[in-house]
């Protein structure tokens, strides 16, 4: 089970994912996406800090992940 504190929840294709933005050790913001069972743990660079990360943006990242891993 994923700790929900500080994370946002998204339903994608019948599965629950949690996402958040956190800086890495170098101070660079990264997008993290976790499946509820923690089997999927994705990390992506934040391309533009001026553009907000939206539900649709997270869905697009998941679309890319699942289309590449079929």
Q: Identify whether the C-beta of residue 48 lies closer than 8 Å to the C-beta of residue 55.
A: no
For the chain, percent of residues with pLDDT exceeding 70: 96
What's the gap between Cα 9 and its chain centre?
10
Each residue's pLDDT tens digit, 1-29: 788 888 999 999 999 999 999 988 888 88
Which sequence spans correspond to the domains of the chain?
8-68
What pTM does this model have?
0.86
3-state secondary structure (DSSP) of residue 7: coil
């Amino acid at each position: 089970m994923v700790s929900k504190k500080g994370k946002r929840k998204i339903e994608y294709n019948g599965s629950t994912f949690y996402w958040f933005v956190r800086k890495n050790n170098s101070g660079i913001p990264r997008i993290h996406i976790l499946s509820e069972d923690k089997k999927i743990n994705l990390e992506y660079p934040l391309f533009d800090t001026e553009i907000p990360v939206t539900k649709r943006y997270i869905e697009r990242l998941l679309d890319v992940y699942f289309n590449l891993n079929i």
